[in-house]
Structure 1
């Protein structure tokens, strides 16, 4: 790995703290951002899937981005998830968010519309041409129904100077390999799934946009740093030790159990908004057992 990626290697997709009325808790947002940076995060993604982007409405997204920039913007890059399934809306919103002092954008493959590859390409190209900030593409077919193929990602990487990375959550390692091998210098491929990070970094990936990074940032940082150093044996051991929790956090829809895990750690960030529902007592008990097993929660 020739160079440090511009946004670093361990990037939590931060959860969005709510108060007891499920309203945005700005003080807790700022405290959590600081906690994650103190834990070793290289950058923060704000209001991604783990940040409940579908249910944090646009004025609240602005408030959220502003709060994080104010709290940690001088310490790490703050990346705002602005992606939508309407290209024109994404462009308008990205331009508005750029004024807040964020350092980059994440944009998801358009969900629900099911665009063909050419539509995906045109969508991202239009956004890239409309803004100056760097963009991380986000490919997650499990949520978007369509997979952005390697050729589409590479076309964007080559043709749009500000398309600088992709968060790959397709689960297709052959696709990830094709992107890593075909990408221009400086284009970063991030794992979009904690459990796949080791395998993706072995293929030349840059790191992870992480869910578990909310709960155990230092532990996830250790794994990506060992991978980046080429210390595969130690990385494999660290990865295996944390794997039960990487998988355990996804036993129900994300981020239900991430928020529950933070509560168990004594750093409550509120519940989730409907149509998600908070963890059941049984789910919480099982999660606590896994957290103790991997050494994230004191026995």
Structure 2
């Protein structure tokens, strides 16, 4: 699964002021990332505000990204939820011919047991032949998928190829890296821990900030993959503040503010999310204008 090593980015969904999808801005964002070192693109993950995207919009977003990408980078599609049967149905009925992998978030709100996690992802793995990256994000789903459950799934299903781990828990990352089967990808879902995880034996990152600074972030992760500790941390320290800022209020309001400062898209988000406060926008604007 070499195509999912390095820097993937969880693409935002740009909106116009009327909150319709801004496809021109999306095309601009995709090209910007392809041309500046991003290794693969993640479509319609939670950073894309997938909870407030209609089925029709999702289909058009996929079509526009596939066309813009034109087979230049691998594409990962977010297909997940807390209704297992609905997720399975989408995987069986959606045209995935241009999609290289699936990112599937752990069931949110339902708070399943570890056996529930296992059975959920077992059903998903059996519904498609596409490579699947599990997504564990307990801060959003209200329940952690344990290391043992992830490793069990990795060993039992050949198309479960990796996990995007986003528990902001160094010990859990290290447990996954230590116990994973050969070839299984441990991908950081925490921008602030991404370099350390990669240096410890992880496979890189699915990043939020990376889509705004693809050249710098992918260079940092490449240093991590090559074991270049000092060079990697030189970049990490320069980006620490902006990583903190984009998650200070809500995601993706922060990253959309960065992208607005870079003239890629507007900072519009859909309710129940709201734009970054003026205070946060000011901090972000100051960082972007002074970043070298």
For Structure 1 versus Structure 2, the TM-score category normalised by the shorter chain is over 0.9
Task: Within 5 Å, give how 1:97-112 maps onto structure 2.
Answer: 97-99=94-96, 101-112=98-109
Instruction: Select which of 256, 259, 277 maps to 1:259.
Output: 256
Aligned to 2:194: 197
Q: Secondary structure at the match of 1:146?
A: coil
Contact 1:140 1:170 in 2 (8 A): yes
Match of 2:134 among 133, 137, 157: 137
* 2:159 match: 162
Question: What SS does structure 1 have at the residue aligned with 2:233?
Answer: helix
Cα root mean square deviation, aligned: 1.4
Partner of residue 56, structure 2? 59
| Partner Cα separation in structure 2 for residue 83 and residue 249 of structure 1 | 24
Mapped pair 1:276 → 2:273? yes
The structural deviation recorded for 1:259 is 0.8
**1:180 and 2:177 matched:** yes
Native 8 Å contact 1:73 1:102 kept in 2:
no
Kept in 1: contact 2:25–2:264 (CA 8 A): no
Residues 228-276 of structure 1: CA deviation (Å, up to 9, x unaligned) = 1111111111111111111111111010011111111112245100111
Residue 212 (str. 1) matches residue 202 (str. 2): no
**Structure 1 residues 38-53: aligned runs within 5 Å:** 38-53=35-50
Q: 2:13 and 2:144 mapped to 1: Cα distance?
A: 27
Residue-pair matches, total: 292
For 1:69, the equivalent position in structure 2 comes to 66
Deviation larger for 161-170 or 26-35: 26-35
From 96, 109, 119, the equivalent of 1:122 is: 119
Q: Which moved more, 1:280-289 or 1:71-80?
A: 280-289
Following superposition, the deviation at residue 284 of structure 1 comes to 1.1
Matched, 1:37 2:37: no
Q: Point out 4+ residue stretches in structure 1 off by more than 6 angstroms.
A: none
1:36 is displaced (CA, Å) by: 1.1
TM value normalised by structure 1: 0.94
What SS does the aligned partner of 2:76 have?
strand
Instruction: State the alpha-carbon separation in 1 of the partners of residues 46 and 289 from structure 2.
Output: 26
- Contact 1:18/1:25 (<8 A) preserved: yes
Where does structure 1 lack aligned partners over 5 or more consecutive residues? none
Aligned to 1:12: 9
- Provide structure 2 residue ranges, at least 5 long, that are not aligned to the other structure: none
